[in-house]
């Protein structure tokens, strides 16, 4: 019998890569998508294969319904889909009062509509006890003067995921949201040493989160330990933001 299957969007880098490797360590086959990061995605696949688990990377632009629809044709889905992690996203720093409609449309299309479209594309394969984990953001709750479009897209994602949790819960499926704070990914890559120290000082735990910190919580949400957790927004931010 084949190992259970997990799909991770945006699995080539950062949080997505850490989640893929944690899933593999937990006994899952991993199908990961990437948009432009082909080499990092293949490196993730290589590490998983070297560990003795199965993985494959598929190029998908999650803002393109045509590409998302083709994802459902992958033969691995024939055995069913047990875990869906919606992690992909875009963030481009811009002051809220400089935001234009095209930029807002692109961000919403990728971050919110893309997640919805991926779910719609693969929902027929989801097992009766499927676990869906949505990677949101603290900015989807608190907002941001430099990422209004990103904040809006994540807020919409949170609301949709909590609604979906109520809709599919009777089937036995669970949907939960993780809202990370500062995490050491590409979003923070441009920080100066001074800016990084400032961020660290803002966090009560006095450090920037690592992708593995998020992956551990994702693992909890697809495990049986969280069997009665559904529709939750879990803030993983070292105490930076306490809603």
Catalytic residues: 150
For 169-242, where are the alpha helices, taking DSSP H only?
A: 193-202, 211-222
Start-end of H helices in the chain:
14-25, 38-50, 65-71, 101-108, 114-122, 139-142, 148-168, 193-202, 211-222
CB atoms within 10 A of CB 189: 8
Integer angstrom CA distances of residue 234 from 14, 24, 71, 129, 134:
19, 23, 29, 20, 10
DSSP percent split of the chain into helix, strand, coil, nearest 5: 50, 20, 30
What would the two tokens of residue 8 be?
A: 């991770």
Measure the CA–CA gap between 139 and 52, rounded to whole angstroms: 37
Residues 105, 112: Cα–Cα separation, whole Å: 10
Going by the DSSP 8-state scheme, the letter that residue 3 receives in this structure is P
Three-state DSSP at 146 gives: coil
The closest alpha carbon to 134, from 8, 6, 41, belongs to 8
């Amino acid at each position: 019998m084949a190992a259970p299957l997990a799909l991770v969007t945006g699995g080539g880098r950062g949080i997505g890569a850490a989640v893929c490797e944690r899933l593999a360590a937990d006994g899952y086959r991993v199908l990961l998508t990437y948009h432009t990061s082909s080499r990092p995605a293949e490196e993730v696949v290589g590490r998983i294969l070297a560990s003795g688990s199965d993985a494959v990377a598929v190029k998908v632009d999650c803002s393109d319904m045509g590409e998302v629809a083709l994802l459902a044709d992958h033969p691995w889905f024939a055995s069913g889909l047990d875990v869906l992690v919606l992690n992909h996203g875009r963030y481009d720093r811009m002051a809220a009062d400089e935001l234009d409609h095209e930029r807002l449309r692109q961000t919403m299309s990728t971050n919110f509509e893309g997640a919805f479209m991926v779910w719609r594309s693969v929902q027929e394969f989801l097992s009766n006890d499927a676990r869906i984990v949505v990677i949101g953001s603290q900015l989807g709750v608190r907002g941001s003067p430099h990422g209004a479009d990103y904040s809006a897209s994540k807020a919409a994602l949170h609301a949709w995921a909590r609604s979906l949790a109520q809709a599919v819960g009777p089937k036995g499926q669970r949907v939960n949201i993780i809202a990370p704070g500062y995490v050491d990914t590409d979003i923070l890559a441009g920080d100066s040493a001074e800016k990084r120290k400032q961020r660290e000082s803002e966090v009560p735990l006095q450090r920037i989160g690592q992708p593995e910190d998020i992956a551990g919580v994702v693992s909890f949400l697809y495990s049986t330990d969280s069997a009665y957790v559904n529709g939750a927004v879990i803030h993983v931010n070292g105490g930076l933001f306490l809603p």
